[in-house]
Amino acid sequence: MSSKATHKLVKKPSVNARYLSDYMVASERVKRTIVRNCKYPKIARIIQHDRAKLFISKFLRSGDLDASKLSTEAARLHSMMSDSDFERETLDVNGDFLDAYAKVFSMGTFPKAEVVENPKGFKMNLNGVNVNPDIRVAVQRVTRTNRIRTGLVTIRYAKGKPLNEEVGLYQSSALFGAQKMLDKMADAETEAEEKLCLTLDAVSGTFIGAPTNATSRFQNMEAACATIAERWDSIEPPDNAIFK
């Protein structure tokens, strides 16, 4: 009887902006692990935070920012029927996520801006690496001189562990780079703004804006992607990995 496959192979260099941001502050050993996990992801189902992130995205876009809505949705997920242990755990993990965010919810670190239509399916190619910026919300503001400034928001969550600020600054810088690309593609008279490119740490409730050196940070991420692309083909799979 043949063994079941445990991992799959991603042939083209591909990294989520979350992992690329982690990569930027990691040790060399951890960097190798991050890239290996992106090239050889496990086939086994992994609990994701998709339900909670989707709800928070809709919540922020709605403009009706009553934190009790987060708690109500959390309770709904905890009470939902499930068909398997995995589904039950997924619902509870997402419910815990929303409960945690409800307790720390604040718009105190969110800049004055309006929510606008979200770009759909946008991905970046940075020196041969496909990077998903994981855009959850798009925002813009109008300056006193009637110029439009634009930005993007993503969401991070690790239970009980506030996001490392450096990681957040890098991820917001990736959003800044993505927004500059979107503005250029649209050929519109808009301009990306660092403080509008935000990573929401749902553990602390803080929106981490891109820093003033976001452009140089994004360039560093592009350079890192060049290295990842160069090494991609030579990265070996995990020990005991089975492929089909």
Kindly report, residue by residue over 219-236, the tens digit of the pLDDT.
999 999 999 999 999 999
3 state SS of 175:
helix
240 in a domain, yes or no?
A: no
pLDDT at residue 19, as a whole number? 97
CA atoms within 13 A on the CB side of 12: 7
Residue 243 is assigned to a structural domain of this protein: no
Burial string for 38-54 (b: 16+ CB within 10 Å, else e) reads bbbeeeeeeeebebbbe
Q: What is the DSSP string of 188-200?
A: -SEEE-GGG-EEE
pLDDT digits (tens, 9 = 90+) for 41-52: 988 878 889 999
Token pair of 134 as six digits: 């994981």
For 6-31, how does the pLDDT look when each residue is reduced to its tens digit (9 = 90+)?
999 999 999 999 999 999 999 999 99
Residue with tokens 């749902």: 202
Distant-in-sequence, close-in-space partners of 72: CB < 8 Å, separation ≥ 6: none
Tokens describing residue 29: 């050993």
> Would residue 244 count as lying in a domain?
no
**pLDDT-based confidence at residue 120 (cuts at 50, 70, 90):** confident
> Of 12, 42, 14, 39, which is closest to residue 242 (Cα–Cα)?
42
Helices (H), 25-124: 28-39, 50-62, 68-79, 85-104
Is residue 1's pLDDT more than 80? no
Rounded-to-integer distance, Cα 228 and Cα 225, Å: 5
Q: Is residue 117 in a domain?
A: yes
Residue 45 is predicted with a pLDDT of 78
Query: E strand or H helix at 118, and its extent?
Result: none
Does the model's pTM come out above 0.95?
A: no
Does any domain span residue 4?
Answer: no
Q: How far apart are the first and last CA of the chain?
A: 14
Q: Distance between CA atoms of 175 and 187, rounded to whole angstroms?
A: 18
Instruction: Give a yes or no: residue 212 inside a domain.
Output: yes
What stretch of H or E contains 219?
Answer: helix 214-231
The pLDDT assigned to 2 comes to 53
Share of the chain above pLDDT 90, in %: 84
Please indicate, yes or no, if residue 145 is contained in any of the structural domains: yes
pLDDT in tens, 177-205: 999 999 998 877 899 999 999 999 999 99
| Cα angle 68, 113, 207; round to 5 | 60
- According to DSSP, the residues that pair with 42 across neighbouring strands are 7
CB 208 within 8 Å of CB 176: no
User: Is residue 217 situated within a structural domain?
Assistant: yes
Using only C-alpha atoms, the chain has a radius of gyration, in whole angstroms, of 19
Q: Which of 24, 40, 38, 230 is nearest to 128 (CA)?
A: 230
Chain segment 65-94, per-residue pLDDT in tens: 999 999 999 999 999 998 999 899 999 999
For residue 114, what are the domain limits? 13-233
Query: CA-CA distance, 157 to 171, in Å (whole number)?
Result: 13
